[in-house]
């Protein structure tokens, strides 16, 4: 059994979700500011939660083209891989924020942790389907 960390990367905020112990259900956890404290916070989270694998949303467009945040997101993944031992996988994140907003309360539509949970749940569902 593996516990997963899901990440919805953004240049200002980073959404965080964590799976259950069995790696079947994703739960929104928090949104962290994308600042100098981000990497140490992620390292602590991976260690404290005994995360076995990390899933980061791939920011590319539907056609696979880079967008303004892609280069920054790729640099983030490289930096994260340098400080954690858990493997990192990329998963398509398109429309995750829009999907998350469909289930949110009126006036509170943009929740990065909810988008992270959707990204992680997509990955868990695909993995289980194999």
Burial class (CB in 10 A: 0-12, 13-18, 19+), 17: buried
How many angstroms separate the CA atoms of 110 and 80, rounded?
25
Of 2, 1, 8, 5, nearest in space to 114 by CA: 8
How many angstroms separate the CA atoms of 32 and 80, rounded?
15
Residue given tokens 């994140």 in the structure block: 93
How many angstroms separate the CA atoms of 96 and 43, rounded?
24
Quick one: pLDDT at residue 71? 87
User: What CATH number is associated with residue 43?
Assistant: 3.30.420.140
User: What confidence tier does 127 reach under pLDDT thresholds 50, 70, 90?
Assistant: confident
How many angstroms separate the CA atoms of 108 and 80, rounded?
29
Helix (H) or strand (E) holding 122: helix 112-129
Domain count, the chain: 1
Single pTM value for the model? 0.84
Q: Crossing angle for the helix pair 38-48 and 70-83, nearest 10 degrees? A: 50
Q: Give me the domain span that covers residue 47.
A: 4-129
Task: Determine the 3-state secondary structure of 8 from DSSP.
Answer: strand
Quick one: pLDDT at residue 109? 47
Quick one: pLDDT at residue 80? 97
Flag whether pLDDT at 104 surpasses 80. Answer: no
């Amino acid at each position: 059994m593996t516990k997963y960390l899901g990440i919805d990367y953004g240049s200002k905020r980073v959404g965080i979700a964590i799976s259950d112990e069995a790696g079947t259900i994703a739960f929104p956890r928090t949104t962290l500011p994308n600042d100098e404290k981000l990497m140490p916070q992620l390292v602590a989270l991976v260690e404290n939660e005994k995360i076995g694998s990390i899933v980061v949303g791939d920011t590319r467009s539907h056609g696979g083209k880079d967008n303004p945040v892609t280069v920054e997101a790729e640099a983030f993944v490289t930096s994260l891989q340098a400080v954690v031992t858990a493997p990192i996988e990329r998963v398509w994140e398109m429309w995750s924020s829009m999907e998350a907003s469909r289930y949110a309360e009126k006036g509170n539509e943009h929740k990065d942790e909810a988008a992270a949970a959707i990204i992680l749940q997509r990955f868990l569902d695909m993995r289980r389907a194999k």
